[in-house]
Amino acid sequence: MDPFTDALAIPPVEMIVDADDRILSCNRGWDAFARANGAPALAGAALIGTPLLDFITGKVTRAFTQTLLARVRVSGRPLILPYRCDSSNERRFMRMVIVSLAGGGVRLRHWLLKTEPLEQWIPLETAMQRGRETFIRCSLCNLIKQGDAWLEPALLVRQRRLRPTRPWQ
């Protein structure tokens, strides 16, 4: 399988931002991904002209994103980054390719490489939803911080350190 063509026969998810990181366009893959994940309001047409960082939570993730965009713009070289984009019921292994465009724009293209079902539903919260007792989750690998270690959420569920609940129970 070539992740740069049609990984899992799902079209790549693509967004283009201008030199000020405002969204210029999103492809049909973006729209399909938004709808499939219960966020039809995030379909491309509604995002045009909006700052990319309006949709990225957490100081570290925002700073990381800004650094990636700046690196690609300054170097002029594409950047390839594997990452996880899990849902509450499956692990999603992704690859992002960031390419500099004329005029300071940047294309961000994402491929879904593979999925794995989670044994149990895992509650996920964004940085804005976190409370004192909420676990810290890495936005790149989706591991959860426990002391000095980073662990798979499913392991924490098995060890009863993370309580699985289903929204429909």
Burial class (CB in 10 A: 0-12, 13-18, 19+), 121: middle
Report whether pLDDT(159) > 60. yes
Judge whether 139 and 133 are in contact, CB under 8 Å.
Answer: no
pLDDT for residue 4: 42
Lowest pLDDT segment from 44-53, 54-63, 137-146, 159-168: 159-168
Range name among 7-11, 56-60, 112-116 with the lowest pLDDT average? 7-11
Q: For the residues 3-23, what does the mean pLDDT come to?
A: 77
DSSP-derived secondary structure for 44-98: HHHHTTSBGGGG--SHHHHHHHHHHHHHHHHH---EEEEEE---SSEEEEEEEEE
Q: What is the CA radius of gyration of the chain?
A: 17
Average pLDDT over residues 50-67: 90
Q: CATH assignment of 7-117?
A: 3.30.450.20
Q: C-alpha angle 65/112/168, rounded to 5°?
A: 95
The sign one gets for the Cα dihedral 55, 56, 59, 63 is negative
Element (H, E) at 41: none
Can you give the pLDDT at residue 43?
85
Domain ranges of the chain: 7-117
* 8 Å CB contact between 88 and 124: yes
> Which residue bears the tokens 């798979």?
152
Residue 39 contacts by C-beta under 8 Å, 6 or more apart in sequence? none
Residues 6+ apart with CB under 8 A from 163: 123, 157
pLDDT, the chain, mean: 79
